[in-house]
Structure 1
Amino acid sequence: MKKFLIYSLVFLFGFNAFSQVETEEVAKLSPTKEESMEARLVAGLLSQYHYEKTAIDDQLSKIIFDSYIKTLDANKQYFLKEDIEYLSRFEDRLDDHIKLGYLLSAYEIFNTFRERFVERIEFVANELDFNFDYTTDEYIVIDSDSLDWAANEEALNERWRKVIKSQALELKLDGEADTAIASELIERYERLTNTISEYEGRDVFQLYMNTFAESFDPHTNYFSPITSENFQIRMSQSLEGIGATLTTQNDYTRVASVVPGGPAFESKLINTDDKILAVAQGVKGEFVNVIGWRLDDVVQLIRGPKGTIVRLKIVKAGKSPTTSIAEEITIVRDKIKLDNQVPIGEVREVYRDGIKYNVGIITIPSFYLEFEAYQNGEEYGSTTNDVQKILSDFESQNIDGIVIDLRSNGGGSLQEAIDLSGLFIEKGPVVQIRNTDGTVEVGEDKDPAMVYNGPMTILTNRFSASASEIFSGAMKDYNRGVLVGETTFGKGTVQNLISLNQFVPKVEDKLGQVKLTLAKYYRVNGSSTQHKGVTPDVKLPSPFEAENFGESSYERALEWDEIDGTDYQQTNFITDDIRSKLKAKHEERLAEAPYLKNLAQDVEESLVNQQKHILSLNYEQRKKENDEALKKHNEERAMNESLKESDGEDKKINSDSEISDPYLRESIVVLADLIAMGIG
């Protein structure tokens, strides 16, 4: 296996930061006979059982080719234009190749990428002049979609000069000395070389087969045996850390999901799509910049014993890490049971316009069900059972209304979405499921009892998905509650995990697994939640636009459609007139209330940053932008601190001002408006 050794000299007087790079010839990776057999098996499984019965043809071949290239080189920093033109001979052949189990084309594409990777590292190490001039007015393009492939090596060298200069400038603006900047960038690229050098044939197979699976739809995936095994280990054991699933995006560590019930979830300080820039241990430990680090190394820094403190520098989702000020957050690590998804209930005493309301808040991290105990007729834990206990406790506290917080709830058990809905309606259909053969099943609540019949708001965000959308959609269709927040994720598909070994039981080696889309969800009104999600009645400002976050951000997501609605009996709890009145009151607050005006301004800034396609490499210009961002950040923090006292109203009259979370606060205020109307 190829190894890299990168040696550095102290960065002095603008000399090259790298003194020597020794490389061996890159070993060519190639597929095995077992992988060939497995590829044929996966191709047959997907073509026969996937929901849409997608044909493996030339059209799909082009999609596979483009996706594979993008997976390897999303920022167009390694392949040359001539490479893409040469490799394009596979563009309409990959379909035939994969059906035959022929994988040499996929491996050739990867080997070409790895050769170009080595050349880039050699360029940075041996040819790049680190004596950057930060007074020139030049820019780097940060939107890869607007870039073409570099026409030649000279053009690619220039692209990389700007990439490294931008990275160095970021560190310089952060107060790093030139020697520290050089050392940090050296370490960053050493880590990258280690990553690529450790790739084995099985890694390439996993990468390519998952790209192939995702060409059917983004929720269809291939897991190699080791990936499946690691997944099962993670699902079955306790971990000590913050409770977040991480992934890499370009050079950044990104939060893929927040584990329900974990410290991160309960803190509300870190969310899906936030980027982690640096990690520090304890209250006083120094921050370690983790940009460009391998994911495993970042995880090891963040993970730690229960009760210890980890500090993170993060950039919130929707904001650019190159143009935004990183927030410092502190999280106390805890033991994380990955099945710890128990709903949390609390009662708050809230005053609105001098009237006191007892508001019950139920935070539901996910829809879980202890399935084995349920099947065996034993006592079992479930979201519905736990929420029912909370509602019973609320009843003894004479609550006036409830808020159900489904933010960042990624879903879970379909049955639980149905059963939970049954606590708030008398009986009837909750969801429709259309199978791959076109048949439609109806998931119904058959219990006529309504456990809670009072006023209710349901709080959602862009990361409320799947079962969360079934529940919130049912509450809206039945006119049972008022939805507040952001439009949901828009995932309306159903997947099953299938082991490949069941198709070839005589094979001794353990094969991989395929997570396969087999059905679609539909609301009782006949509308799919796919793409569109569930739209709130009272919509709050959101930095997460559908084309960038949610199902619509996936190129291969299944289309939205609708089927016939079911026969269901709407309640008269929430009428169109009530929705209009609540929305009008919200619009007034949006124009006048500081907490909502501040939220809207922050969202607008985030949306503007998302539209930026270029970044200045001029020190003074970038410093000016950073200073302005820091000033605004500090002003927002000061505003948040003073909201309790400067809300324009006495907090004895409106004690909701004590709630710093603007989304939760507004859902409570909407609930108070609903109660004041005499609903429930």
Structure 2
Amino acid sequence: MKRGFWIGLLLVPLLATAKVEDTGILLEPGDNQAYVTGWVRQFLSQARFHYSPKPLDDALSAEIFDAYLDGLDGDRLFFLKQDIERFAPLRASFDDALQAGNLQPAFDIFNVYIQRVAERTAHARALLKQEFDFTRDEEYHFRREDLPWESSRKALDEVWRQRVKNDYLRLVLAGKEPEAIVETLDKRYANFEQRVREIKSDDVFQSFINAYAGAIEPHTAYMNARASENFNISMRLSLEGIGAVLQRDDEFTVIRSIVKGGPADMSGKLKVGDRVAAVGQGREGPMIDVVGWRIDDVVELIRGPKDSYVRLDVIPAATGIDGPHEIITLARQKVKLEEQAAKKRVIEWQEGERTRKVGVIELPTFYQDFDGRRRDEPDYRSASRDVARLIDQLKGEKVEGLVIDLRNNGGGSLTEAIELTGLFIDRGPVVQVRNQGRQVQVEQDFDSGTLWDGPLAVLVNRASASASEIFAAAIQDYGRGLIIGEPTFGKGTVQNLVDLDRFARKDSPGLGQLRLTVAQFFRVNGGSTQHKGVVPDIAFPVTLDAEHYGESTYDNALPWSEIAPATHSKLADFSPLVPILTQRHGERAKQDPEFVWWSEDVAQYREQREKKSISLNLAERRSERAQIEARREQREAQRKELGLSGEDLAQSDDGLQADERAPEADAEEAEERADPLLREAAHVLVDAVDLLRRDQGLAAQVYPQRGVANTP
């Protein structure tokens, strides 16, 4: 079949599609979506754009089909076997549909999904009118991704009876009364159906195109215009608006939290829990009623250019929904989102008469204000700039070592990973990048000098990925610092954002962005982090197994490979030091109650992770909960006895979902939880400092070029 880009002509007949029952809503492809599909297909199918392109053929069509269905109903809770059989002809036809720009088959599947959701939620709500027998010995199989689709409504009804029974039981165990349980669950199921009915054509299109993109390679994805803007906000850590986080509560949009220093905070007029009934632009003029709207639609109305005005028709939290309304006028400003910004702290403890101080910099993501940098703004926001500022502050606090905490840091800007590494090495290669043409470019730190040349450790876990792995790998390959924690995610690919508006040059913008895998990165030593990740020097107990989380869980992930190492000067070899540090860590961990408790929780989590079903017997679940509560209470008693501060990591199950908790709960300052891993990483670093200072022979082995050293 001819594979042309021009999609104004249909190259194949429109596919026959199944009849869809009346759902009260029928979604259809939007005007621009076939045009966008042509551009996406162009980028995904050519080697000059994508690092690992795949032909759009019947084999890829089958992968797209499976990915799309899994994205809609991965737990097999809505579609029936006959639905899947009805969709089956599309398994080998999605390629033809995409070639023709015909998106109707994907929308037909989604419209059936809407119908099935309506049926299931109606059934779930009806089940709440009956009584459940919690004395029966039965189990609910909640891990259903590998189970077959149910062959009849009756069989699926039974699955949902057990699901609703489990939801009910969780609230019973949390101490809720029957009337409150029914009210909570009825609202939960009704809200789920409502959210599905609020899905728009652009959302369906994004889901389907992402099934296509993800079938090419796991980290290739499409973002529509709204998703693109949210991504850009997350990278620059700022937006222009009022500085309030919203959530849905029944038909109302509610203020969940207020960003400190933003217009809402500075005005003092808007409070957590207030309900927004309408939004108006400017100081005067019409107000748009937003009751019943989707959250992102309300957000779009409230955001706007700096120094412009927005009016909110607010029902104060203190008055109830029938209380008097207030009109609040706010001037939009640039709001900094500090939640994902780099932060510092100092860990202190006494050793005899000596106070040990280790600085910590927590970096949740590698962010950068791309537009600000491109415009050469002097104060543009970036991770490396913020970390540099924090290091200067920690120097003033006379810390003797520094831990960079990259746990749960999923990556971000490659440039930031390189520049952050440059703060800790003099100059030299940081990462090697092999592009689509298999040409290798060595990305380097060209700036002479280091901002921090003292003892350094990097704390990672399984959720540390991409740019985190580039930084950790470079620090390890140079011997610049110790890597502590778990093996990392294993994502060794590089993505670029393609702004489709810039390529298409259409009069009407808003085509979205394509996140395209364009290269694979390799460590300074020539190895790849792909699949293998970065293996720590000092290992903590593994929380997530490779078969459950990480690059290795993707069937179509790129394989591990290696290239020639880049020329660089290794600063140290920690291999003689690691066994001693590991032994000391093990001995200390056994004596640290917080670390012991954390290790027990990890073991229990891993055991629970293997389970695919849960008992629906009240006595059995109460017994299990009683054991958990007894263990938690025992820990709290021990914590008080030992004079330990902080909150236990293991929390009671309240049976609620995140959006069912009152916004006021988030506004309260929670006591800081214990972090035994971070504290132990600081101790490991200080151990290394002391060993190298006291044992000149060991120091000479670690730093053969210098003979002696006092910094890891």
Length-normalised TM-score, structure 2: 0.73
Alignment of 1:372-387 (within 5 A): 374=373, 379-380=378-379, 382-387=382-387
2:540 — aligned with what?
Answer: 540
Cα deviation, 1:198-251, whole Å, max 9, x if unaligned, reads: 3343332222112222222232221223433455567523564689xx99xxxx
Alignment of 1:11-26 (within 5 A): 25-26=23-24
1:11 — aligned with what?
Answer: none
| 1:237 counterpart = 2:235 | no
Paired residue type of 2:461 = N
Moved more, 162-171 or 198-207: 198-207
Q: How far 1:346 moved relative to its partner?
A: 4.4
Alignment of 1:46-445 (within 5 A): 46-48=44-46, 49-125=49-125, 130-229=130-229, 231=231, 236-237=239-240, 240=243, 296=295, 337-338=336-337, 343-352=342-351, 355-369=354-368, 371=370, 374=373, 379-380=378-379, 382-445=382-445
| 1:667 counterpart = 2:681 | yes
2:649 — aligned with what?
Answer: none
Cα deviation, 1:11-46, whole Å, max 9, x if unaligned, reads: xxxxxxxxxxxx975444333453223222211221
Paired residue type of 1:360 = G
Instruction: Choose which of 26, 34, 38 in structure 1 pairs with 2:36.
Output: 38
Moved more, 488-497 or 357-366: 357-366
| Cα root mean square deviation, aligned | 3.5
> Partners of 1:281 and 1:544 in 2: how far apart?
36
> Partners of 1:343 and 1:199 in 2: how far apart?
35
Shift of the 376–71 alpha-carbon distance from structure 1 to 2, 3 Å rule, reads closer
Shift of the 134–468 alpha-carbon distance from structure 1 to 2, 3 Å rule, reads same
Tell whether the 8 Å contact from 1:595 to 1:643 is kept in structure 2 after alignment: no
2:269 — aligned with what?
Answer: none
Tell whether the 8 Å contact from 2:426 to 2:448 is kept in structure 1 after alignment: yes
Q: How far 1:344 moved relative to its partner?
A: 3.6
| 1:612 counterpart = 2:611 | yes
Instruction: Choose which of 21, 27, 47 in structure 2 pairs with 1:29.
Output: 27
Give SS of 1:471's match: helix
Shift of the 398–187 alpha-carbon distance from structure 1 to 2, 3 Å rule, reads closer
Q: How far 1:366 moved relative to its partner?
A: 3.6
Tell whether the 8 Å contact from 2:225 to 2:513 is kept in structure 1 after alignment: yes
> Partners of 2:231 and 2:61 in 1: how far apart?
29
| 1:589 counterpart = 2:588 | yes
> Partners of 1:637 and 1:281 in 2: how far apart?
32
Tell whether the 8 Å contact from 2:428 to 2:568 is kept in structure 1 after alignment: yes
Tell whether the 8 Å contact from 1:65 to 1:91 is kept in structure 2 after alignment: yes
Q: How far 1:341 moved relative to its partner?
A: 5.9
Moved more, 418-427 or 552-561: 552-561
> Partners of 1:374 and 1:232 in 2: how far apart?
13
> Partners of 1:557 and 1:390 in 2: how far apart?
37
Q: How far 1:508 moved relative to its partner?
A: 3.4
Q: How far 1:95 moved relative to its partner?
A: 1.5
Give SS of 1:473's match: helix
Paired residue type of 2:239 = S
Structure 1 unmatched ranges of 5 or more: 1-22, 248-258, 264-279, 283-292, 311-334, 647-657
Paired residue type of 1:619 = L
Shift of the 366–68 alpha-carbon distance from structure 1 to 2, 3 Å rule, reads closer
> Partners of 2:685 and 2:643 in 1: how far apart?
20
Moved more, 521-530 or 358-367: 358-367
Q: How far 1:663 moved relative to its partner?
A: 0.9
Q: How far 1:608 moved relative to its partner?
A: 1.1
Q: How far 1:645 moved relative to its partner?
A: 6.5
Paired residue type of 1:544 = L
> Partners of 1:633 and 1:294 in 2: how far apart?
41
Tell whether the 8 Å contact from 2:51 to 2:435 is kept in structure 1 after alignment: yes
> Partners of 1:206 and 1:436 in 2: how far apart?
25
Paired residue type of 1:337 = K
> Partners of 2:65 and 2:499 in 1: how far apart?
26
Q: How far 1:478 moved relative to its partner?
A: 0.9
Moved more, 494-503 or 52-61: 494-503
Tell whether the 8 Å contact from 1:432 to 1:522 is kept in structure 2 after alignment: yes
Give SS of 2:145's match: helix
Length-normalised TM-score, structure 1: 0.76
> Partners of 1:511 and 1:645 in 2: how far apart?
54
Moved more, 351-360 or 156-165: 351-360
Moved more, 470-479 or 222-231: 222-231
Moved more, 178-187 or 662-671: 178-187
> Partners of 2:245 and 2:184 in 1: how far apart?
26
Tell whether the 8 Å contact from 1:241 to 1:336 is kept in structure 2 after alignment: no
Paired residue type of 2:470 = I
Tell whether the 8 Å contact from 2:110 to 2:204 is kept in structure 1 after alignment: yes
Shift of the 67–25 alpha-carbon distance from structure 1 to 2, 3 Å rule, reads closer
Paired residue type of 2:176 = E
> Partners of 2:501 and 2:220 in 1: how far apart?
18
> Partners of 1:359 and 1:566 in 2: how far apart?
32
Q: How far 1:613 moved relative to its partner?
A: 0.9
> Partners of 1:195 and 1:659 in 2: how far apart?
34
Tell whether the 8 Å contact from 1:489 to 1:551 is kept in structure 2 after alignment: yes
2:690 — aligned with what?
Answer: 676
Q: How far 1:294 moved relative to its partner?
A: 11
Cα deviation, 1:257-296, whole Å, max 9, x if unaligned, reads: xx9x999xxxxxxxxxxxxxxxx969xxxxxxxxxx9994
Paired residue type of 1:625 = E
Cα deviation, 1:313-364, whole Å, max 9, x if unaligned, reads: xxxxxxxxxxxxxxxxxxxxxx961377654444444334664433233333
Give SS of 2:133's match: coil
Paired residue type of 1:602 = D
Shift of the 66–377 alpha-carbon distance from structure 1 to 2, 3 Å rule, reads closer
> Partners of 1:154 and 1:87 in 2: how far apart?
21
1:635 — aligned with what?
Answer: 634
Q: How far 1:566 moved relative to its partner?
A: 1.0
Alignment of 1:550-565 (within 5 A): 550-565=550-565
> Partners of 2:26 and 2:396 in 1: how far apart?
70
> Partners of 1:525 and 1:372 in 2: how far apart?
33
Paired residue type of 1:29 = L
Cα deviation, 1:82-127, whole Å, max 9, x if unaligned, reads: 2212211211211221121122221222122222223323434557
> Partners of 1:516 and 1:453 in 2: how far apart?
36
Give SS of 1:211's match: helix
Give SS of 1:402's match: strand
Q: How far 1:65 moved relative to its partner?
A: 0.8
Q: How far 1:191 moved relative to its partner?
A: 1.3
Give SS of 2:483's match: strand
Give SS of 1:632's match: helix
Shift of the 281–670 alpha-carbon distance from structure 1 to 2, 3 Å rule, reads farther
Give SS of 1:91's match: helix
Shift of the 340–567 alpha-carbon distance from structure 1 to 2, 3 Å rule, reads same
Tell whether the 8 Å contact from 2:50 to 2:518 is kept in structure 1 after alignment: yes
> Partners of 1:485 and 1:131 in 2: how far apart?
48
Q: How far 1:604 moved relative to its partner?
A: 0.5
Shift of the 660–168 alpha-carbon distance from structure 1 to 2, 3 Å rule, reads closer
Paired residue type of 2:608 = N
1:252 — aligned with what?
Answer: none
| 1:480 counterpart = 2:480 | yes
Shift of the 642–189 alpha-carbon distance from structure 1 to 2, 3 Å rule, reads same
Give SS of 2:410's match: coil
